[in-house]
Amino acid sequence: MTKTFKKTFALSDQGAKDLTSASIACFLMNIAIMGTVGILYMFLKESIIPILEGKTPEYNLLSYFIYSAVILTVLYICIYRQYNSTFIASYKESANKRIGLGEKLKLLPLSFFGKKDLSDLTTTIMTDTAGLETAFSHFIPQLFGAVASTCIVSVSLLFFNLKMALSLIWVIPVSFLLVILTKKFQERFNLKNKAIQLVYADGIQESIDNVKDIKANNQIEAHMKMMDEKLTAFEKQAIKTEVVTGIFITAAQMVLKIGVTTSVIMGVSLVLKNEMDIFTFIVFMMVATRIFDPLNNALINLAAIYGASIKVNRMKLIENHEIQSGNKCSDYKGWDIEFNNVKFSYNEDTSVLNGVSFVAKQGEVTALVGPSGGGKSTVAKLASRFWDIDKGSITLGGIDIKEVEPEDLMKQYSIVFQDVMLFNNTVMENIRIGKKDATDEEVYAVAKAARCDVFINQMENGYQTLIGENGCTLSGGERQRLSIARALLKDAPVVLLDEATASLDIENESLIQEAISRLIKDKTVIVIAHRMRTIASADNIVVLENGKVVEQGKHSKLIDNNKLYKKMLDLQVKSKDWVLD
């Protein structure tokens, strides 16, 4: 049972054990509750039979007290065990599940995130995990406990009186079959409901991310109308799903109630034929009042588990996704990065790189230039193994990066991308991400080198100032300078700069370039830039167009070639003279 729970509901070993324990506790609790019928049976037997025989009933009150005490003790133990194995254990399991999913996301390639949007992943980690928590604590143990206890009681009734037992329990398999056979139909509605829910959640995320653009273009009313339509669609689908599920569950519960009717008809018939005494008939009726109560809830729980299985499958997609793996490596032979006939595509239909080859040497600055969409940023991301290439090879210090464990590989890189990501924390801690054990003095030094101290010292709390979600209180240039300081603090042997100075004014750009020049000595540096003047002094300029290296060399050589690089440079020179008419 433990293995089945673990596989079916994507639980940890401890979670599966706790769920098994909870199911057993629910089973014992149901059996213990049925024990109250046994006490009532004994009481009636000692009361009715003597009266029918014209005798005075004699009661052994001590025995009733002992039996009642035993049943209450068993019930207390079972309820206590059930609570700890369901509610408390489910909270721990959901917490571990969220942590586990987060740890798994760290190991996944960026290609996975390209197929999943933020709201989808957030829904999986938060909402779907909460759904599993509810199923763990309210649905699964109660279902298995009810089914197991009903099977035991049903078998006992068959030995007690075959005809009466059959007339009572025949509705049980019929009811469950009615729910089980409609599983695919229910799942289809649940899947559609989940899909529309994700569309709505994605709409909310999109609204928050683009609130500035929405307001700036006077699209608030139109956007809210669109969100209302998404919400209405979600509400309609949720109602349809609930109605469909409710129809099958109600129908199954109605069938269960027929069992009481058929058992009454059978009992009366047997009593009239003197095939059963009235006392046995009364006992069966008491059992009938108890046996169907847990089953009514079990039918609801079964349908709820169908809905939870969709959430479990979404979590399994993350947990079962292939990770980037490799070995820890410490025998790099220098820090040269070599691309050898690299081919890559984000999807099967569109090729991004088509046989790219070049070497970024240690101690040199290699610049990547070319038209938009030529593959510059892709090359930088592939160099750090954010994605795995389709063909060819990329080596760092003579070692194929596919063979290196991603986390170990990232220790060798300091990266500043054009899209800066900051955290809702202090300035100090946002810089310290580059080196978690850095001293305050080290942070101050790189902040000064990246020209961050100019604006930090103007803040009310200086380095202890909270900068808001993704640095919302900072300008674009300030955010980018913090990102550069973070990369400088890491002081890795390889530096990747993707439009690192794009949001800076000319004065700060020049100052930061001077700071970077001092700190990249003996490092392997790859720079992506659209402003040609920023890479004129690079040791090697690689020109990319349509995913291919069309030319490479020093600035002077490329000028003499009079090809794409010279054309791009001429266009930028002309653009300097552009003015508003």
CATH of domain 325-412+495-501+523-575: 3.40.50.300
CATH topology agreement for domains 2-319 and 325-412+495-501+523-575? no
Query: pLDDT by residue (tens digit) across 173-209?
Result: 888 888 888 888 888 888 888 888 888 787 777 777 7
pLDDT in tens, 442-472: 999 888 888 888 889 888 888 898 887 777 7
What tokens appear for 197 in the block?
A: 């829910």
Bridging pattern class, strands 413-416 and 337-344: unpaired
Pick the CATH number of 2-319 from 1.10.10.10, 1.20.1560.10, 3.30.1330.10, 3.90.660.10: 1.20.1560.10
Q: Confidence class of residue 52 from pLDDT cuts 50, 70 and 90?
A: low
Query: Cα(first)–Cα(last) distance of the chain, in Å?
Result: 78
Q: What are the residues whose beta carbons fall under 8 Å from the beta carbon of 225, sequence distance 6 or more?
A: none
Q: What pLDDT does 49 receive?
A: 63
27's CB contacts (< 8 A; 6+ apart) are 144, 145, 148, 149
Question: Nearest Cα to 112, choosing from 321, 302, 366?
Answer: 321
Instruction: Tell me the mean pLDDT in the region 8-23.
Output: 74
Domain boundaries, the chain: 2-319, 325-412+495-501+523-575
Which pLDDT value is given to residue 507?
Answer: 65
Mean residue pLDDT across the chain: 80
Instruction: Decide: 255 and 174 in contact? Cβ < 8 Å.
Output: yes
Lowest mean pLDDT among 54-63, 74-83, 124-133, 563-572: 54-63
- 515: which 2 tokens? 């700071």
Stated pTM of the model: 0.69
Q: Specify the length of the chain in residues.
A: 581
Residues 562, 553: contact at Cβ < 8 Å? no
- Band the pLDDT of 511: cuts 50, 70, 90: low
pLDDT (mean) for 264-285: 82
Put the strands of the sheet holding 524-528 in their side by side order: 413-416, 494-498, 524-528, 365-369, 540-545, 548-553
> Residue 179: its pLDDT value, please?
83
Q: At what angle do helices 278-319 and 2-9 cross, to 10 degrees?
A: 50
Mutual angle of helices 171-180 and 220-272, in 10-degree steps:
160
Cα–Cα distance, 452 to 457 (Å, whole number): 9
d(CA 63, CA 39): 10
Tell me what pLDDT residue 519 has.
Answer: 63
Percentage of the chain exceeding pLDDT 90: 6
| Cβ 452 vs Cβ 508: under 8 Å | no
What is the gyration radius of the CA atoms in the chain, in angstroms? 35
Residue 394 predicted with pLDDT over 90 = yes
Residue 575 has pLDDT above 70, yes or no: no
- pLDDT value for 359: 93
pLDDT one-digit tens code per residue, 217-226: 788 888 788 8
Asked whether 450 and 471 are in contact (CB, 8 A), the reply is no
Q: Which residues contact 346 (CB under 8 A, 6 or more apart)?
A: 111, 114, 352, 387
Q: Dihedral (C-alpha) 389, 395, 396, 399: value to the nearest 10 degrees? A: 120
